[in-house]
Amino acid sequence: MTEKENNKKAEDAGNYFPVNKSYIKRKKIYNRIAYASAAFAFTIGAFPVFHIIYSALIIGYKYLNWSFVSTLPSGFPIGAKGGILNAIIGDLYLVIIASCLAVPLGIGSGLYLSLFGKKRTNSIIRLLNELMIGIPSVVWGIMGFYIFSTNAGLGFHFGFSALAAGLTLGFIMTPIVTLLTEQAVNRIPASYIEGALAIGATKWQATKSVIVKAAMGGIFTAVLLGVLNIIGQTAPLLFTNYYNTGMPTGITGPGGAVGDMAMLIFIYIHEPSRILHYKAEAASVVLLFFVFALDIGMRLISWITVKIFEML
Amino acid sequence: MAKLNLNLKLKYKDDLFKFILSIFIFGIILIFITVVAIILYYSYPAVSRFGAAFLWTKEWNPPKEIFGAATFIAGTFMVTIIALMFAIPLSLGIGIFLEEYCPKFLKGFFTIIIEILAGIPSVIFGVWGVLTIVPWLRINIEPFFEAHFSNIPFLKVTENIGYGILAASIVVAFMVVPIIASITKDALAAVPKITKDGALAMGATRLDVIKDVSLPFSYRGIYGGIILGFGRAVGETIAVVLLIGNQAIIPKSIFGVGYTISALLANTFTFAVISPIYASSEVELALILLLISLIVNLIGRNVLQKVIGGKLSRTQFGGG
């Protein structure tokens, strides 16, 4: 076979499978354009994250010092002097009250779903939880007003107070903790649970000695994500707690209202006062700090659990 | 004998454990029933008095006890639809970028950025809107549109103040982007790798793979994400209150001010409770929001269940 014949063969093949060079070039250019526009979309989507932090810091940094987080607001209009201690303490109250309701309820239901649930009950409960996650927070606020806060009609008559707001926030937090706990327990390798059951442990013993330990990281993540969600909530507090510039004297009735970080920012940004707008930005920095701290804590915990699982 | 006692004791403990957990389950059901029942019970007076006309009456006049939701429903849907018009292309681009184009070593970091966007509280979005988006619209965008597009009906600038439907929509768009983007990403990740690799081996470019393999495989999941994003945008409250202008008029332009259901509730619900029928009308507005959210989430979850097996992405739990 000569070289000439070979070339002719290649040419024939080229006629059967025509390679259109400009077509390929065009395809490549389109691909580049798609890459660029997808990357551009990502840039726009990521922009607010950085710009929110940047703009809050650039305006709020003058006010950020230790006394900002350790003194109560004072001056006129209220908040012009002093700090946001009332809001930090108030958030602590709300998170503790909400957790008292949501943590046992959420973890218990999550465990039930993954340990005892029949397929049918499971799908119904999961659906209810997912629907509850989608309910707008303003609707939760109205529900909280009628069952916890108002002094007329049905309900508990707690007034505008930390207890009313905390329980409303607990209602919001419960479905989150439930769903994530269930996912965390389902992620445990089946052999762990089956092994415990196979040597004669009851489900209670298996839970106590195996499941809780193995799913600890996931359950912590669930609780932290719930807390992360409720410290940003403002709308439910409008109708169940509103705001207090001082310290609460109790958790129900008059004097039971607490300050809240999100509420403080909302009220300050409504005021026609430049200094309060700046303080709102400074408070945003503090709130973002808490949010990111929870976020990082959550990621660390789940990363560590994954590492531990790999070591076992 | 002792062994039998031990077994019985264990069995009792186990039964007790199961019993306590089932009480918790009833707690979950009770919470759901409570929210639906309270909203239904307190909106009943308004529902029975105004009937279906509530939905298309435009006047909202508490002293005369005339209540109609049309203005607020129109405002809500305008904000939601404009927000989705911004959010859908953006989040499709982000989902495709993260799943198909992004270099491997940056993927985790970039995904975390989008998840952080979902976790930022809505009041901080509102503050950002007031101090950043509103001045930007007032100084840069609105004068430009006034000069060049003033004869196009939906783009007419009536008052150059920055606040309005567009400001609210932009901020709400950024709040729903993480939801749609992460679900798009999950749906694209569910495409079997072998089909993608097959197409690549045949000489297809990445774009061809996305267009002809990935998107046809995962479009249902993307619809599900858009539906959930819609549900989130409809109920958005605090950022919208701060940005929309709070005027009870049906806006004729995207630069006009308006009012949404959630904004009205946030602003006036605590004053409304002095009059039973006023309060009841406001609760009926909440009922509309509740029904929209339940229906939308029911459809969205069903769609997603089929595609990505009901896996929940973190962004759906985002901050308030």
- CA–CA gap between residue B254 and residue A81 (Å, rounded): 39
Burial class (CB in 10 A: 0-12, 13-18, 19+), B2: exposed
- CA–CA gap between residue B122 and residue B241 (Å, rounded): 11
Q: Provide the CATH number for the domain formed by A68-311 in this structure.
A: 1.10.3720.10
Mutation for B interface: A25, A27, A42, A116, most B CBs within 10 A: A42
- Chain B closest-CA separation from residue A283 CA (Å): 10
Which of A127, A135, A292 lies at the smallest CB-CB distance from B35? A135
Q: Does residue B28 belong to any structural domain of this protein?
A: no
CB A162 within 8 Å of CB A248: yes
CB B188 within 8 Å of CB B214: yes
In the block, tokens 């000489």 appear at B203
Note the pLDDT of residue B213: 92
Q: Does residue B17 belong to any structural domain of this protein?
A: no
Q: Does residue B225 belong to any structural domain of this protein?
A: yes
Q: What CATH number is attached to the domain comprising B128?
A: 1.10.3720.10
Q: What is the pLDDT of residues A61-89, one digit of tens each?
A: 889 999 999 999 998 888 888 889 999 99
- CA–CA gap between residue A260 and residue B33 (Å, rounded): 28
CB B241 within 8 Å of CB B126: yes
Contact criterion met (CB < 8 Å) for B312 and A183: yes
CB A231 within 8 Å of CB A289: no
Task: Say whether residue A56 is in contact with chain B using an 8 A CB cutoff.
Answer: yes
Q: Tokens at residue A98, please?
A: 């909400």
DSSP A158: -
Q: For residue A27, list chain B residues with Cβ-Cβ distance below 8 A.
A: 205, 207-208
Name the CA radius of gyration of chain B, rounded.
24
Contact criterion met (CB < 8 Å) for B289 and A139: yes
Burial class (CB in 10 A: 0-12, 13-18, 19+), A231: buried
SS3 of A270, please? helix
Which of B32, B97, B310 lies at the smallest CB-CB distance from A128? B32
- CA–CA gap between residue B68 and residue B174 (Å, rounded): 30
Q: What is the pLDDT of residues A4-59, one digit of tens each?
A: 776 666 666 555 556 778 888 898 999 999 999 999 999 999 999 999 999 999 99
Note the pLDDT of residue A163: 94
CB B179 within 8 Å of CB B228: yes
Alpha-carbon dihedral B20, B22, B25, B31, rounded to 10 degrees: -70
Q: Which domain holds residue B210?
A: 49-317
- CA–CA gap between residue B69 and residue A199 (Å, rounded): 63
Q: Which of B79, B68, B138, B66 is nearest to B263 (CA)?
A: B79
SS3 of A74, please? strand
Q: Does residue B106 belong to any structural domain of this protein?
A: yes
Note the pLDDT of residue B241: 94
Q: Does residue B27 belong to any structural domain of this protein?
A: no
Q: Does residue B229 belong to any structural domain of this protein?
A: yes
Q: For residue B31, list chain A residues with Cβ-Cβ distance below 8 A.
A: 132, 171, 174-175
In one-letter notation, the amino acid at residue B52 is A
- Chain B closest-CA separation from residue A250 CA (Å): 22
What mean pLDDT comes out for the span A94-119? 92
Q: What is the pLDDT of residues A261-301, one digit of tens each?
A: 999 999 999 888 889 999 999 999 999 999 999 999 998 99
pLDDT in tens, chain B (320 residues): 556 677 788 888 888 888 999 999 999 999 999 999 999 999 999 999 998 999 999 999 998 989 999 999 999 999 999 999 999 999 999 999 999 999 999 999 999 999 999 989 999 999 999 999 999 999 999 999 888 888 888 888 888 888 999 999 999 999 999 999 999 999 999 899 999 999 999 888 999 999 999 999 989 989 999 999 999 999 999 999 999 989 999 988 889 999 999 999 999 998 888 888 999 999 999 999 999 999 999 999 888 887 776 666 667 775 54
Q: Does residue B5 belong to any structural domain of this protein?
A: no
Banded pLDDT at A212 (limits 50, 70, 90) = confident
Q: For residue A231, list chain B residues with Cβ-Cβ distance below 8 A.
A: 121, 319
Note the pLDDT of residue B41: 93
Give residues 172 to 201 of A whose Cβ lies within 8 Å of B: 174-176, 178-180, 183
- CA–CA gap between residue B205 and residue A29 (Å, rounded): 10
In the block, tokens 């105004």 appear at B50
What mean pLDDT comes out for the span A177-184? 91
How many domains is chain B partitioned into structurally?
1
Q: For residue B112, list chain A residues with Cβ-Cβ distance below 8 A.
A: 299
Query: What are residue B61's phi and psi, to 5 degrees?
Result: -130, 90
Note the pLDDT of residue B318: 59
How many other C-beta atoms lie within 10 A of the C-beta of residue A230?
29
Q: Which of A106, A103, A152 is nearest to A132 (CA)?
A: A106
Q: For residue A139, list chain B residues with Cβ-Cβ distance below 8 A.
A: 35, 39, 235, 286, 289-290, 293
Compute CA distances A243 → A39, A265, B197, whole Å. Answer: 43, 11, 58
